[in-house]
Amino acid sequence: MKSRALFVAVLLATAVAAAPLAERQAQPAQPAKPADNPKVDAFKKEAVADVEGQAVFAQQMVDQIFSYGELGFQETETNRYLIDILKKNGFAVEEGIAGIPTAFMATWGSGKPVIALGSDIDCIPQASQKPGVAYHDPIIEGAPGHGEGHNSGLPLNIVAAIAAKKIMAREHLSGTLRVWTGTAEELVGAKAYFIRAGLFKDVDVALFTHVGDNLGVSWGQGTGTGLVSVQYSFVGETAHAAGAPWRGRSALDAVELMDIGWQFRREHLRLSQRSHNVIVDGGDQPNVVPRTASVWYYFRETDYAHIREMWEAGDTMAKAAAMMAGVELQPTKVLGSAWPQHMNKVVAETTWANIQQVGLPTWSDEDQQLAKALQKELKNPRVEGLSVKLPERLQGPAEHNDGGGSDDIGDISWNVPTVTLRYPSNIPGLPGHNWANAIAMATPIAHKGVVAGAKVQAMTILDLVARPELVQQAWTYFRDVQNKDTKYQPLIRAQDTPAIWLNKGTMEKYRAEMKKYYYDPSRYKTYLEQLGIKYPTVRASTTQ
Ligand SMILES: [Zn+2]
């Protein structure tokens, strides 16, 4: 045996020496393979089959939450529905966490590791849209809708948790699963408060998930921003705007002066910044000098120090604008905040290995037809349809960051090892925060994407539970690399509280009408069937 092994080694060495240099250099470094663990592999195989068996259940949850279409902090139907499902599946549910009525944390199991499975649940203003229809066609004109796809993430986590916990219970594996809501993510309104309330103190790993158009995961500091969301309110004095304008002081003047000031400042800000605002109160009617006015700003930057800097510039401008207009600036309100995200290397590598095993769903001709018709409708330069290839590699830290969106999962990611699993429930090349992003979200595209994502998530849970060294390594990266030079300090101030009043009026305006369209799985197999939509519905001009 010994001589034979030597013979093989010599043969190999000869072959390597004989290979041209260029060819040898082109060989990519082989990623470290996880130790062979047939037992864990068998658990994972079983979990994948279990998730597959839950496909109809996943579809029902995705369609149900899609039909609720609730804005941030008003996710009452969604919450009631999810809590009921979790309780039926053996979870103990703590409701109204961190002072937020529509937030919950559900717990199953005991002991270490504690794995927190989260995803967002809120939707987008004015994104009401018929699913499966490849052009703008609202269910209710002006109503909110799932134009981001947040109806799919918690169904994914619930399916994964159910599959994993069956195996954990049978095998007496130590571990606690927590399922929690990314309440009001579109307002980046909740997660910093979860941290402040100590809800992640005993968590070992946070497995977050967010809809995307492929399976993917990343580690390190990615592209995108963190932010602080601040409302500036001014108070002046009313007067007859024509009869005695000199007796009035306009709060709206202060809002407009602040906005003009900010537009000038924009020239001198870093390229990575994003800032935008809406006027939430601009007065009552033109012949009454506005006594009150409010403007709501998002200040986004790629690190904490620069977010603070922008915020201070905004505060200074608000004070100056109040002085110019002769009105009072009220104490400012922070309505939301998010740290820039930093994802854990070890957990990302573990997830990535599972992604490669699961692969992408098989899309039908109808799925591809819908995707291509929508891409044409939006006049996208590329009409590529749905993703059919996984990303080339696990995504590492971004080389440069030109800014972009934010997610308050950033705050969680600076408190416990965290990753965000992206799953292919949507169509590539969409604008985001738009009716177009809702089209796929109650169709087979979303359903299959959720099943694929749930398989990955269940496998990763089992890895973390059955291989404790992974959790240890994740913490080593978290402590020694990620937190080496950065210390988390919340952007919310002691006096700030969750902005749970937001979106109340909008939901009150639309809810009665929306109720008529809530999905009824006892009567219809799918939401498409309930709405009587032929899948896909595309314009003749956008078919291939
Ligand atoms: Zn989102």
| pLDDT-based confidence at residue 1 (cuts at 50, 70, 90) | very low
Rounded to whole angstroms, how far apart are CA atoms 377 and 235?
A: 46
pLDDT, residue 12, reads 41
Q: What is the DSSP letter of 272?
A: T
What proportions of the chain, in percent to the nearest 5, are helix, strand and coil?
A: 45, 15, 40
184 alpha carbon – ligand 1 mean position (Å): 10
42 alpha carbon – ligand 1 mean position (Å): 33
396 alpha carbon – ligand 1 mean position (Å): 21
* Tokens of residue 354, six digits: 């599972």
Percent of the chain with pLDDT over 70: 93
185 alpha carbon – ligand 1 mean position (Å): 7
210 alpha carbon – ligand 1 mean position (Å): 6
148 alpha carbon – ligand 1 mean position (Å): 6
153 alpha carbon – ligand 1 mean position (Å): 10
Segment 170-197, tens digit of pLDDT = 999 999 999 999 999 999 999 999 999 9
Across the range 40-66, mean pLDDT stands at 98
Segment 373-404, tens digit of pLDDT = 999 999 999 999 999 999 999 999 999 999 99
Across the range 65-90, mean pLDDT stands at 98
Percent of the chain with pLDDT over 90: 92
150 alpha carbon – ligand 1 mean position (Å): 6
Asked if residues 148 and 433 have their Cβ atoms less than 8 Å apart, the reply is yes
183 alpha carbon – ligand 1 mean position (Å): 11
| pLDDT-based confidence at residue 541 (cuts at 50, 70, 90) | confident
211 alpha carbon – ligand 1 mean position (Å): 7
8 alpha carbon – ligand 1 mean position (Å): 54
What is the four-CA torsion angle of 299, 500, 189, 95, rounded to 10 degrees? 170
Q: Report whether pLDDT(347) > 90.
A: yes
Cβ–Cβ contacts within 10 Å for residue 25, how many?
7
* Tokens of residue 388, six digits: 């059919």
The three-state secondary structure class of 268 is coil
HSE at residue 242, side-chain half, CA atoms within 13 A, is: 3
327 alpha carbon – ligand 1 mean position (Å): 38
186 alpha carbon – ligand 1 mean position (Å): 7
Q: Report whether pLDDT(160) > 70.
A: yes
432 alpha carbon – ligand 1 mean position (Å): 9
Residue given tokens 């995705």 in the structure block: 62
130 alpha carbon – ligand 1 mean position (Å): 20
What is the four-CA torsion angle of 470, 476, 481, 484, rounded to 10 degrees? 150
Q: Where are any strands of DSSP class E within 159-212?
A: 175-182, 205-212
372 CA to centre of own chain: 25
Across the range 460-482, mean pLDDT stands at 98
Evaluate the CA torsion angle 283, 285, 290, 292 in order and state its sign. negative
Segment 334-343, tens digit of pLDDT = 999 999 999 9
Beta carbons within 8 Å of 158's beta carbon, 6+ residues apart:
61, 82, 85, 86, 89, 179
Rounded to whole angstroms, how far apart are CA atoms 276 and 472?
A: 41
Q: How far is CA 249 from each of CA 243, 244, 255, rounded to the nearest angstrom?
A: 14, 11, 12
Task: Give CA angle at 252 (250, 256), nearest 5°.
Answer: 125
Q: How far is CA 328 from each of CA 46, 59, 320, rounded to the nearest angstrom?
A: 64, 52, 10
Cβ–Cβ contacts within 10 Å for residue 253, how many?
22
336 alpha carbon – ligand 1 mean position (Å): 14
Segment 281-292, tens digit of pLDDT = 999 999 999 999
402 alpha carbon – ligand 1 mean position (Å): 19
11 alpha carbon – ligand 1 mean position (Å): 54
Pairing mode, strands 274-281 and 205-212 = unpaired
122 alpha carbon – ligand 1 mean position (Å): 8
DSSP 474-517: HHHHIIIIITSS-----SS-TT----TTTTHHHHHHHHHHHHTT
182 alpha carbon – ligand 1 mean position (Å): 9
224 alpha carbon – ligand 1 mean position (Å): 13
194 alpha carbon – ligand 1 mean position (Å): 18
Asked if residues 178 and 203 have their Cβ atoms less than 8 Å apart, the reply is yes
404 alpha carbon – ligand 1 mean position (Å): 13
Residue given tokens 């590791």 in the structure block: 113
120 alpha carbon – ligand 1 mean position (Å): 7
441 alpha carbon – ligand 1 mean position (Å): 13
Q: How far is CA 218 from each of CA 282, 395, 404, 482, rounded to the nearest angstrom?
A: 42, 4, 16, 14
Segment 140-153, tens digit of pLDDT = 999 999 999 999 99
Residues shown for the chain: 544
Strands, sheet with 418-424, edge to edge from the N-terminal-most edge strand: 92-95, 104-110, 175-182, 114-120, 205-212, 418-424
270 alpha carbon – ligand 1 mean position (Å): 25
pLDDT, residue 542, reads 73
Q: Report whether pLDDT(102) > 60.
A: yes
107 alpha carbon – ligand 1 mean position (Å): 24
* Tokens of residue 290, six digits: 């506005």
Asked if residues 104 and 118 have their Cβ atoms less than 8 Å apart, the reply is no
386 alpha carbon – ligand 1 mean position (Å): 19
pLDDT, residue 543, reads 64
192 alpha carbon – ligand 1 mean position (Å): 16
| pLDDT-based confidence at residue 3 (cuts at 50, 70, 90) | very low
* Tokens of residue 369, six digits: 């037809």
244 alpha carbon – ligand 1 mean position (Å): 49
pLDDT, residue 16, reads 39
